[in-house]
Amino acid sequence: MNILLQKFDTAPFSKISSDDFKPAIKKAIAIAKKEINQIVTNTDVSTFENTVVALDNTGEQLDRITSIFFNLNSAETTDAIQQIAQEISPWLSEFRNDITLNKALFERVKAVFEAKESLNLTTEQSMLLDKQYKGFARNGANLSENDKKTLRKIDAQLSKLSLQFGENVLADSNNFELHLTDEKDLEGLPESVKEAAKTVATQKDKEGWIFTLDYPSYIPFMTYANNRELRKKLAIAMGKKGFQQNENNNEQVVLEIVKLRHQRADLLGYKTHAHFVLEERMAETPEKVLSFSNELLAKAKPAAQKEFQQLSDFAKKLDGIEQLQKWDGAYYSEKLKKKLFDLDQELLKPYFQLENVIDGVFTVANKLYDIVFTEVFDIDTYHKDVKTYKVTDINGNFVAVLYADFHPRKGKRNGAWMTSYRSQQIKDGKNIRPHVSIVCNFTKPVLNETEVPTETKPSLLTFNEVTTLFHEFGHALHGMLANTTYKSLSGTSVSWDFVELPSQVLENWCYEKEALELFAKHYQTGEIIPMKYVQKIKESASFLEGMQTLRQLSFGLLDMSWHGKNPSEIKNVKDFETFAFKDTQLYPDVVENCMSTAFSHIFQGGYSAGYYSYKWAEVLDADAFDYFLEKGIFNKEVATKFKKNVLSKGGTDKPMNLYKQFRGKKPTPDALLKRAGLI
């Protein structure tokens, strides 16, 4: 019997073989179709319960199996899994279309939707009904049969293309390595970085040191390596992903994706893909996004230009650099930061042992939201590095299961993310609690012969990695503290430009003395991080913030350029991108590089026409944290309001309403501009 088709609580990873997925997904699709059919063939008049709630309850088994599958494809992929992903993606896309283009099903939902005013629904019920009705309308339910066919075809193509895009980026990443055998080339690099590179070389049966395009390898090299030519080599390799004359080239893929997205939006009656996407976001329209972006750009650009000049002058004075290039940015920023604040990431790392930071984030969550984390060893995992925790409230009631996967390895994509294996919902009177996972790529501890972390070098995090952990944990809290009736409105099932609020707001605690004292202890001496460092972390937080803001805005504006107008005339990806960057460009262009061909957020992830939401969420998070600062960062009243109105509510109300219930007013950019030192 296929393990995936049996009843299980937590995912039975060790019992699953990749051969189980295809038959299980096929069967689960058939079961879900049957559930849909029961709604459609019900002869009773359509009601909220027998149609809307019944529809929300369909496909549960399919959701669980596919969540396990796609999480493995991101965190522990193999050739076999990638092959299966290519095969099942069209099935799933077709199944989704079978639902959204099911006329009889839509008629039943529409009947409830049209009777909405007389139904006396709660806000949450009303949101569920709206979400379902729009889910149909936005996926072509009101189209003619012919147009529906076209839509299905477009969706199947798009799902294949975005997979292809991701595989090309991964292949180009994996194909590159910087193999060094001369110790002179390592000048400037911290010991821990050299050790990690040596470990990679040893694993590949090579002498010397190997650096890759994985962030824990790439970023330290770009930040510390004195050898400018090697930094250039690595930077160009990073920027060439998907933009080389090989079988992984993404230029055509990008053009096809944007044209198909535009075609799809047009078919559904929207001016552009951005108009289609933003209708369901907190921002609502491309015009609002552009006006928000341009308002920030006007404030940030003069500061960014001034900072760029300061950095250029510094590099010239220090090393006679005539023209600052992209591969110089991180290196000279770090040196200038050290000069101005005498703050070296390597000095801070001993205070951020991974285990202590994990305890720290747990303690912060406990003080704010009264939850307790206990590591458990009886939950099955997909890799020995994965840790598992049982989450309870202070009275011992079960809240959630948390998985945590912290280290890079072959078969795991770059970056950091939160995901879920089971959503929270209330069903048949029972509150089904969520299973949530965070995945990061932090430097591994250096192991001795017996494969246990050595006393000398446990996993020590850079301060950036500390904020990344808090960020992903903020998403995890959104999932774990969910308390809604319907699964499709639970946890992080909120509009994309609201989803980053819980994650970004939690990063603020990393800069506060009161929070740092809980976990920032020297891994050898146990000494708490000196307050002069904390002061410097705070002061340096807005260091080069103008340049940083400009960079984020440039990505958001590039995204809106691809998706906010008709792309049918675009012939050349690089030329188009260069034009889109013209108002935000500081560094000279690098001919061999192209951002779009590896811009996975918008061409593989779900951020198309949504990249602006990082900055949007920063406005929300700065405004929200301002409230905590006003009352105290562990103030129970503010924390309870945040938990009650944001973390537990999921998508049960419009985000602006939820925010105003928490904050008592609409957010303004003032707190962000103040925090960034831009006003």
The catalytic site residues sit at 472
Alpha-carbon Rg of the chain, whole angstroms?
Answer: 25
User: Which amino acid appears at position 210 of this protein?
Assistant: I
Sign for the CA dihedral angle at 483, 488, 494, 500 comes to positive
What is the spatial distance between Cα 456 and Cα 350, in angstroms, rounded to a whole number?
A: 11
Tell me which DSSP letter residue 14 carries.
Answer: G
Q: Are residues 409 and 445 in contact, defined by beta-carbon separation less than 8 angstroms?
A: no
Measured CA to CA, the distance from residue 618 to residue 623 in angstroms comes to: 8
Do strands 371-376 and 417-422 pair parallel, antiparallel, or not at all (unpaired)?
Answer: unpaired
Contact 12, 68 (CB under 8 A): no
Return d(Cα 274, Cα 263) in angstroms, integer.
12
Question: How are beta strands 417-422 and 435-439 bridged, if at all?
Answer: antiparallel
Q: Which residues contact 567 (CB under 8 A, 6 or more apart)?
A: 255, 258, 259, 262
Pseudo-torsion of CA 233, 235, 240, 244, nearest 10°? 0
Q: How far is CA 288 from CA 157, 256, 423, 508, 563, in A?
A: 30, 27, 32, 27, 15
Q: Measured over all CA atoms, what is the biggest interatomic distance in the chain, rounded to whole angstroms? A: 81
Tokens of 203: 């694993």
Tokens of 145: 């049969």
195/400 Cα distance (integer angstroms): 37
CA distances from 49 to 53, 79, 385 (A): 5, 44, 43
Q: How buried is residue 215: exposed, middle or buried, by Cβ count under 10 Å (0-12/13-18/19+)?
A: buried
DSSP-based three-state secondary structure for 399: strand
279 near 288, Cβ under 8 Å? no
Q: How many helices (H) and strands (E) does the chain have?
A: 27, 9
- The upper half-sphere exposure of residue 179, i.e. CA atoms within 13 Å in the direction of its Cβ, equals 10
Tell me how crowded residue 291 is: count the other CB atoms within 10 A of its CB.
12
417 forms beta bridges with 439
User: Three-state SS string across 603-637, please?
Assistant: HCCCCCCCCCHHHHHHHHHHHHHHHHHHHCCCCHH
Cα dihedral sign, 593-597-598-602: positive
Kind plus residue range of the DSSP H or E element containing 392: strand 387-393
Helix (H) or strand (E) holding 404: strand 398-405
